Structure 1
Amino acid sequence: MINMNQIYKSFGQNNVLSGVDFEINDAEIHALMGENGAGKSTLMKILTGVYKADSGSVLEDGKPIHFKNTMDAEQNGISFIQQELNIWPNLTVLENLFLGKEETKFLGVVDNKKMKQRALSVFKKLNIDIDLNRMAGTLSVGMQQMLEISKALMEKPKIIIMDEPTAALTNNEIATLFEQINRLKNEGVSFIYISHRMEEIFSISDRITVMRDGQSILTTKTKDTTHAEVVKSMIGRDLDNQYPDRHYHQEDIVLSVEDLSSVEHQLKPIHFDLHKGEILGFSGLMGAGRSEIMRVLFGLDKGNKTVKLNDKQIQIQNPNQSISQGLAFITENRKEEGLVLQDSILENITLPALKSFSKTGFLTKSTMAQYSDQMIARMNIKGKKEDACVNLSGGNQQKVVLAKWIATAPHVLILDEPTRGIDVGAKREIYQLMNELTDRGMSIIMISSELPEIIGMSDRVAVIHEGKITGILEGASISEEHIMTLATGGENNETV
């Protein structure tokens, strides 16, 4: 058993943790919940030796413990799988698994055979098939997540901390992961499970601790609480309906895409229209080609297409052409493609629209500062405009990415997994913002792996299966059953 008692931690004048109590029992799955910025990751970094608490105690079976760093924590049986993946893209899968922990033979010669045997044993348990010689950077985000989980299981952990472990996984991969979590729990391993997905929390956890504003608010057995009580503890109030009402009436076509294809991504000819003020959802299983379609459309990846914007044919060979003609694309990988992490919130928000903040060739810093302050307030970003984005929580980083592209005033906004890793309160804020933008005439394409989100926010849904659109649903036909039928290659009479 590990007890964290009255943990305090500040960074400068920012009080991040203010007397947090948390415990994890042997062979327990303990969910740790709270809004982005509540202090969950900081608390776990104190446990694993990344940060040192200003005050408070950490005890294992009643004895004080303190780890020098994450490697020290791992050697003592505590592994931390963080939300932002720690993959070395230019190394092979095998090299990633054993980086700094290589198996050796006599005279220090690396024992590749033994490492491969250990790796394949873990892969078999997780029911995954990855070529050990493949470069890790070529794996999908979902497969990279499974690689991170495999790395943790290479050791013999007593406690595994998982921060949003299923954000990029398919339903089958989630089911496999949960089987392994329960198997390891039965073998005595404990889990600290950080997630914003309520259905997962109530499915997998034994107890829940909720944090808010750097304090522990609630600890309870999962069976003794409700979704509503957990949400109220997280945000300090009752939450209205998760998805705000939409009042969309179909208008003229803004974007028309014909014959979009890609040999690289195995995309068949894709055809779809997007109307003014519409949210068009793109759904499908992982690997179906949803993100790849948008990358080809935006000019990030090679492919063929015929694109009309406001009934005028346009050429898109690269992202700069897309942006200049009124398209914006927020990719699912905010860490590598969405932000300049070392730059400030102000610098990131204003970067794509510097021309609009310039006068006679010179940037007007006062206008940039004013706009940044407005967006920070409007999107409830927990930070000041001078703060570096690297120090923000994942949810606040996502809000900065949204603010950054809104500054370009695009006709079409493409959102790839816009609420991945974001807490329930922040999700609602982003949904409201999407409604405001479409009410002003902006059109949105939203890719999401979360079916409730697709169903709750889309006016129409294009379903992708093996690189092609198998149907477009609208109105009452937008249901989990119809989407999954099309996503798995079945036929559906409800398409339009």
Structure 2
Amino acid sequence: MQKLILEMRGITKTFPGVKALSDVNLKVAEGEIHALCGENGAGKSTLMKVLSGVYPHGTYEGDILFNGQVCEFKDIKQSEQFGIVIIHQELALIPYLSIAENIFLGNEQKKRGLIDWNETTIKTRKLLETVGLDESPATRVLDLGVGKQQLVEIAKALAKQVKLLILDEPTAALNESDSENLLALILELKKQGITSIIISHKLNEISKVADSITILRDGKTIQTLDMKADKVTEDMIIKGMVGRDLTHRYPEREPRIGEVIFEVRGWEAHHPQQEERKVLDDINLTIRRGEIVGIAGLMGAGRTELAMSIFGRSYGRHIKGQLFLHGKEVRFNSISQAIEHGVAYVTEDRKQYGLILIDDIKRNISLTSLGRLSRRGVIHEQEEVLVAEEYRKKLNIKTPSILQKTVNLSGGNQQKVVLSKWIYAQPEILILDEPTRGIDVGAKYEIYSIVNQLADEGKGILFISSELPEILGMCDRIYCMSEGRITGEVARKDATQEVLMKSMTRGRG
């Protein structure tokens, strides 16, 4: 039997109005990659925050044993002294500092009481080489892509003599290539004797790298499986996560597609800082009533830039082209004008642009439609409560109260609040940019069902996703983008991953 590096026994953690963890047990063998799976709100991140000292000893019940020793961590610094390092989903790097400064922040290399920059640079180069990053230690983090920032975080962990590395959704914001590189690095670290716990909703990635998997549901341990011995399949994991079989990952739908209600003609836009750089060139597309239109493209293809530039010119400079709503030309010079014309945009970054995290669910839902709730400039609070309650029930937002701050909700429930806000605004055109990013399979299914219902009500949906199976499973018609241009249009019946990828990788020629 393998030696255990970590054992968590009977962990119970309560927040006001909700029990996040209830008698959770976790065993991790030394030198393995252990996956932690569960729906949003299952308690995965909470459990890891208990382990790493984010939630200090005394704020939870139960015991943590690390290398056989009972540990009572009062903060992150203390857990790091034992070699436990957590990399959160939201990276904790300071953008205006260099790679070297970030890696050794709080762990400065000193000589006679002063920072030894020569030693810092030498050690940074070695760490960057270990994680496969060919960058100067002096490079600002601001100038790195998200994939490279993730590698800097791992280098930072290695600088702390990590024994147990915890990665919370490490590939959520990465493209396919960066994800593959990161998974390869985790496997390489395993060869060096480093144990990893990986939280991920991407079941195909877990199947590639994990030795064992623990499934949580509703704050409780459901089961721990040996990936090889138990012949674990994605369907087995899903059943454990949601408590039922999801025979179809995408809800069935009979599309009822009507006339063209929205059209983009000859659309182009330039980069907001580098004005000579054209990021969108001669974009033409249509959306029909009751139709879900997909946009597929690799990272950097211009999908989000297109969505934002259409939505009240919230991205880009020197924007040209025409927009037509019901055959009549319209012009949105601001976000408020786009909303007034019945266009809504669900951003890919719900935490920064989609929600006011420090405010409650009620206010977030009503935010875009305060005019409908106001009488002579005063908000009718009772009506606001009724609206929020209606959408809490309609979209099955899991919360003890609509007065709960949105920051305390799981990712899936936060996304439902964003959708509630825009559905209440009664749009005709709904642009969804990565609507299921960082969300588990159960919550994804619920959001897919909501999208299908909106299409059945006659809305036109523009659905942007990096996941080709999602595009294929949800969309009636698909546009492919590459280098800021539309490079293909494919009907659902003709669409395969190979067909889409061929168009998505077609350059300007």
Q: Does 1:301 align with 2:315?
A: yes
Coordinate RMSD, CA, aligned: 2.1
| Residue pairs, 1:37-52, within 5 angstroms | 37-51=41-55, 52=57
Aligned to 1:301, the other structure's residue is in SS state coil
> After the TM superposition, which parts of structure 1 deviate over 6 Å for at least 4 consecutive aligned residues?
none
| Residue pairs, 1:261-280, within 5 angstroms | 261-264=268-271, 266-280=279-293
Matched with 1:10 is 14
State how far apart, in whole Å, the 2-side matches of 1:107 and 1:230 are. Answer: 52
Cα deviation digits, residues 215-271 of structure 1 (max 9, x gap): 101111012122222212211222231101222244222221122222316322222
State how far apart, in whole Å, the 1-side matches of 2:81 and 2:342 are. Answer: 52
How far the C-alpha of 1:12 sits from its partner, in A, is: 2.9
State how far apart, in whole Å, the 1-side matches of 2:28 and 2:114 are. Answer: 38
State how far apart, in whole Å, the 2-side matches of 1:290 and 1:93 are. Answer: 29
Matched with 2:476 is 459
How far the C-alpha of 1:357 sits from its partner, in A, is: 1.3
Contact 1:47–1:66 (CA under 8 A) maintained in structure 2? no
Of 181, 193, 202, the residue aligned with 2:186 is 181
Contact 1:5–1:58 (CA under 8 A) maintained in structure 2? yes
State how far apart, in whole Å, the 2-side matches of 1:140 and 1:353 are. Answer: 36
| Residue pairs, 1:32-181, within 5 angstroms | 32-51=36-55, 52=57, 53-109=59-115, 111=117, 113-128=118-133, 136-137=141-142, 139-181=144-186
Cα deviation digits, residues 8-63 of structure 1 (max 9, x gap): 11113421111000011111111111111111111100000011353211001221
How far the C-alpha of 1:116 sits from its partner, in A, is: 4.2
Matched with 2:350 is 334
Aligned to 2:425, the other structure's residue is in SS state coil
Shifted more, 124-133 versus 303-312: the winner is: 124-133
Matched with 2:275 is none
State how far apart, in whole Å, the 2-side matches of 1:261 and 1:220 are. Answer: 51
Change in 2 beyond 3 A, CA 1:123/1:328: farther
Change in 2 beyond 3 A, CA 1:65/1:168: same
Cα deviation digits, residues 392-441 of structure 1 (max 9, x gap): 12222111111111111111111111111111110000000000001111
Structure 2 spans left out of the alignment, 5+ residues? 272-277
Change in 2 beyond 3 A, CA 1:251/1:31: same
State how far apart, in whole Å, the 2-side matches of 1:407 and 1:397 are. Answer: 16
Of 4, 25, 29, the residue aligned with 1:21 is 25
| Residue pairs, 1:457-496, within 5 angstroms | 457-489=474-506
Matched with 2:379 is 363
Contact 1:462–1:469 (CA under 8 A) maintained in structure 2? yes
State how far apart, in whole Å, the 1-side matches of 2:235 and 2:34 are. Answer: 19
State how far apart, in whole Å, the 1-side matches of 2:406 and 2:394 are. Answer: 17
| Residue pairs, 1:312-461, within 5 angstroms | 312-383=328-399, 384-461=401-478
Matched with 1:239 is 246
TM-score, normalisation: structure 1: 0.93
| Residue pairs, 1:183-262, within 5 angstroms | 183-223=188-228, 224=230, 225-262=232-269
Structure 1 spans left out of the alignment, 5+ residues? 492-496
Aligned to 2:34, the other structure's residue is in SS state strand
Contact 1:126–1:176 (CA under 8 A) maintained in structure 2? no
Contact 1:87–1:137 (CA under 8 A) maintained in structure 2? no
Shifted more, 338-347 versus 398-407: the winner is: 398-407
The letter of the residue matching 1:266 is V
Contact 2:84–2:165 (CA under 8 A) maintained in structure 1? yes
Matched with 2:274 is none
How far the C-alpha of 1:199 sits from its partner, in A, is: 1.0
Shifted more, 428-437 versus 398-407: the winner is: 398-407
State how far apart, in whole Å, the 2-side matches of 1:406 and 1:67 are. Answer: 44
Shifted more, 425-434 versus 296-305: the winner is: 296-305
Contact 2:214–2:223 (CA under 8 A) maintained in structure 1? yes
State how far apart, in whole Å, the 1-side matches of 2:292 and 2:91 are. Answer: 30
Change in 2 beyond 3 A, CA 1:117/1:263: farther
How far the C-alpha of 1:143 sits from its partner, in A, is: 4.6
Change in 2 beyond 3 A, CA 1:356/1:132: farther
